[in-house]
Amino acid sequence: MTIYYAGIDLGTSRTSICTSTGKRITVGSCVGFPKDVISQKRFGKPYLLGDEALHNRLALNLVFPLADGVIEKGQGHKRAKQAVTLILTNLLNRVFADKQPDDQVYAAIGVPAQASIDSRKEVLDAVAGVVDKVLIVSEPFMVAYGMDIFEEALIVDIGAGTVDLCRIQGTLPEAEDQLSLTTAGDYLDKHIAQRLLAKYPKVQITKAIIKQLKEKFGYADTPNLEATYTLTVAGKPAQFIVGDVLAEAVHEIVAPICQAVGQLVGSFDPEFQARLRANIVIAGGGSRLRGIDRAIERALTDYGGGSVRCTEDPEFGGAIGALKMALEMPEDLWEQI
């Protein structure tokens, strides 16, 4: 019998996996189900995943199963849970294609810093039958673990659904060491859309367009305020100035992050607060916003200052840390499925 290990960063926007066999894969955290018999005939399969689903979304019912970093509640809960299972099953089957029936899979899975007991149980239920043992990990802590950060530090993991903060002090974090904010990537996208429509009421925008704008012009520091982009009005393309809109919107997430940093630093042992402020690491997809480290560092002057840097691997940093934990954690920390 072979035991395969996987580290999984289960994100609102993307899900990434790193394995003990050296494989790395990332997919969009969405599932598309054919709308009718015609779309079923077109695709020839019961569902599409990730980018393939997004590219064919007009013929699909799309499910984005993770709201604010945890499995969606409410009316769509059953379908959301099914979608998470499909995403994880597909990923694990791809990375462990040679797995035999008697082999086992141990997976460390990241969840938001302040995910509730119920939310963690939902993740366990979603992977039942997919993996054999699970380790549920705080997302910012697994980033720190992957970077070998065990001294006093503060990790700020900016995802699509949540911004997760965690104090590192050489031990497993307690509840009071962590905070989660919903002023994250999706929140930023909404502000970009609102500001664009306020400036250009007739412009046509979608979630995909907003994402493209954010990736191209998402400067948090010294932005090009006159940057232009081709958008449409009633189907007619034209150039619009969008740099100023993006610059204003990006700063909507900076203030809440600095307030949360101030809260975690201010409630820490006063003799070690300076160490936290001197070692702040920005991770997650939000760390790709150019200049986000400098913008946060400047804004922290009102909270005593700080030294801020970005992680080198925003795509797989969390999954790498989760895999490392999976390989090194003692057996008694694992939960049997």
The tens digit of pLDDT for each residue in 9-47 reads 988 889 999 999 999 999 999 999 999 999 999 999 999
In this structure, the dihedral spanned by the alpha carbons of residues 135, 137, 141 and 142, taken in order and rounded to 10 degrees, is: 60
Angle, to 10 degrees, between the axis of helix 77-95 and the axis of helix 117-127? 50
Closest by CA position to 48, among listed 96, 83, 92: 83
Give the long-range contacts of residues 20-27, CB within 8 A, separation 24 or more: 20/323, 20/326, 20/327, 21/95, 21/96, 23/94, 23/95, 24/316, 24/319, 25/91, 25/94, 25/95, 26/315, 26/316, 27/51, 27/87, 27/90, 27/91
Closest by CA position to 191, among listed 159, 223, 214: 214
Question: What pLDDT is recorded for position 199?
Answer: 95
Mention the CATH class of domain 3-144+316-336.
alpha beta
Q: Is the pLDDT of residue 129 over 70?
A: yes
Q: How far apart are the C-alpha atoms of 147 and 320, rounded to whole Å?
A: 9
**Lookup: tokens for 302:** 């009102």
Closest by CA position to 244, among listed 223, 213, 229: 223
| Model-wide pTM > 0.85 | yes
Question: What pLDDT is recorded for position 128?
Answer: 82
Q: Is the pLDDT of residue 141 over 70?
A: yes
Give yes or no for a contact between 72 and 80, defined as CB atoms under 8 angstroms apart: yes
**Lookup: tokens for 184:** 């994250």
Check residue 308 and report its DSSP letter.
E
- Residue ranges of alpha helices (H) inside the chain are 37-43, 50-55, 77-95, 117-127, 139-146, 185-199, 207-217, 243-250, 254-266, 273-277, 292-299, 317-328
Question: What pLDDT is recorded for position 224?
Answer: 80
Mean pLDDT computed over every residue of the chain: 90
Centre a 10 Å sphere on the Cβ of residue 174 and count the other Cβ atoms it contains.
Answer: 9
Give yes or no for a contact between 109 and 323, defined as CB atoms under 8 angstroms apart: no
Angle, to 10 degrees, between the axis of helix 185-199 and the axis of helix 243-250? 140
Burial (CB count within 10 angstroms: exposed 0-12, middle 13-18, buried 19+), residue 321: buried
Q: Is the pLDDT of residue 290 over 70?
A: yes
**Lookup: tokens for 64:** 């984005």
Cα end-to-end span (Å), the chain: 18
Pick left, alpha or beta for residue 234 (phi over 0 → left; psi -120 to 50 → alpha; otherwise beta): left
**Lookup: tokens for 72:** 């969606």
Q: How far apart are the C-alpha atoms of 33 and 57, rounded to whole Å?
A: 9
Q: Is the pLDDT of residue 56 over 60?
A: yes
Question: What pLDDT is recorded for position 337?
Answer: 56
CATH code, 185-250: 3.30.420.40
Helix or strand or coil: residue 219? strand
Query: Cα–Cα distances in Å, from 265 out to 102, 149, 154, 310, 337?
Result: 48, 17, 9, 19, 37
The arithmetic mean of pLDDT across residues 78-100, rounded, is 90
Q: Is the pLDDT of residue 75 over 80?
A: no
Q: Is the pLDDT of residue 154 over 70?
A: yes
Looking at the chain, which residues constitute the CATH 3.30.420.40 domain(s)?
3-144+316-336, 185-250
